[in-house]
Amino acid sequence: MAKEKGGFWVGVAAVAFYPSTALMSRKRIQGGERVPRSGGTLVVMNHVSHLDPVYDAVFVHKQGRVPHFLAKHGLWNVPVLGSVLRGARQIPVYRGTADAQQSLRAAHEALEQGMLVIIYPEGTITKDPDGWPMTSRTGVARLALEHDVPVVPAARWGTRDVYDHYRKKFRPLPRKTVVTNVGEPVDLSAYREQPQSLAVLREVTDLLMGEVKDLLAEIRQEQAPDGFYTKKA
């Protein structure tokens, strides 16, 4: 399959994202060679800061791929940013509407067309006070099971030190260190032979996010907690 070309708007984003992330932090990537250089790929990541997509876009671009994110549809209405998102073929997410399933359909189409899709299964930045992953939505399992593409777990840590949304703290200086740790593609062949029951979707989702949590523990050099944080009502 031919390698996807980024185009004008991906170039615009790169011109903005590379220097801005360099100003705010030192970046280190571990295991970047595990990201396939072509073909449909699903990258599953944790989410700790609103800056994550900027850093994750740079990480994927450095591996020679064009990143495609699932992002809140409201961002498409933001001047300039909306043009970048449309031009770079990002995937709007319509939560709680009749168009919600369309978001997953667009992600399915992207994988079928040989694109790399980045998904944050938690759906929003984690509310765990210590920054560990929350219980995640099962849409990631549907994407992973319905396409015979590499499913690559990755964790990133350090962006919350730059911008912490819940504490309303933006601290670009002194420069922080942001580390991305990439795991081996997860073998889901046994699950693909089973019916997609709710139990299977939950098991696959937790399996994938468990891999992400372990990669995060390696970065932090800490013991990961058992299970996943659950948001309080």
Q: What is the CATH number of the domain that holds 148?
A: 3.40.1130.10
Q: Flag whether 124 is in a domain.
A: yes
Please give the Cα distance from 188 to 229 (Å, whole number): 24
Per-residue pLDDT at 214:
98
Asked if 113 and 205 touch (Cβ cutoff 8 Å), the reply is no
Per-residue pLDDT at 2:
57
What b/e readout covers 183-199, taking b as 16+ CB neighbours within 10 angstroms?
Answer: bebbebeebeeeeeeee
Please report which helix (H) or strand (E) contains residue 180, including its range.
strand 176-182
Per-residue pLDDT at 101:
59
Q: Flag whether 34 is in a domain.
A: yes
136 is in which domain, residue-wise?
7-220
Please list the alpha-helical segments (H only) found in the chain: 7-24, 52-62, 81-87, 100-112, 139-145, 159-162, 189-192, 198-220
- Alpha-carbon distances, residue 170 vs 63, 133, 155, 173, 205 (angstroms): 28, 22, 21, 9, 32
Please give the Cα distance from 148 to 159 (Å, whole number): 32
Q: Flag whether 232 is in a domain.
A: no
Please give the Cα distance from 233 to 223 (Å, whole number): 27
Q: Flag whether 203 is in a domain.
A: yes
Q: Flag whether 148 is in a domain.
A: yes
Asked if 116 and 143 touch (Cβ cutoff 8 Å), the reply is no
Query: Based on the structure, what is the number of domains in the chain?
Result: 1
Please give the Cα distance from 78 to 83 (Å, whole number): 8
Per-residue pLDDT of the chain (233 residues; tens, 9 = 90+): 556 666 666 777 788 889 999 999 999 999 999 999 999 999 999 999 989 988 999 999 999 999 998 876 666 666 666 667 766 677 777 665 555 556 678 889 899 999 999 999 998 899 999 999 999 999 999 999 999 999 999 999 999 999 999 999 999 999 999 999 999 999 999 998 898 999 999 999 999 999 999 999 999 999 999 999 997 65
Please give the Cα distance from 170 to 117 (Å, whole number): 28
Per-residue pLDDT at 80:
61
Q: Flag whether 135 is in a domain.
A: yes
- Is pTM, for the whole model, over 0.75? yes
Q: Flag whether 104 is in a domain.
A: yes
Q: How many CB atoms lie within 10 A of CB 39?
A: 15
Please report which helix (H) or strand (E) contains residue 71, including its range.
strand 67-72
Per-residue pLDDT at 107:
87
Nearest Cα neighbor of 4 from 62, 49, 67, 47 is 67
Longest CA–CA separation in the chain, Å? 51
Per-residue pLDDT at 13:
78
Q: Flag whether 226 is in a domain.
A: no
Sign of CA dihedral 186, 158, 11, 118: positive
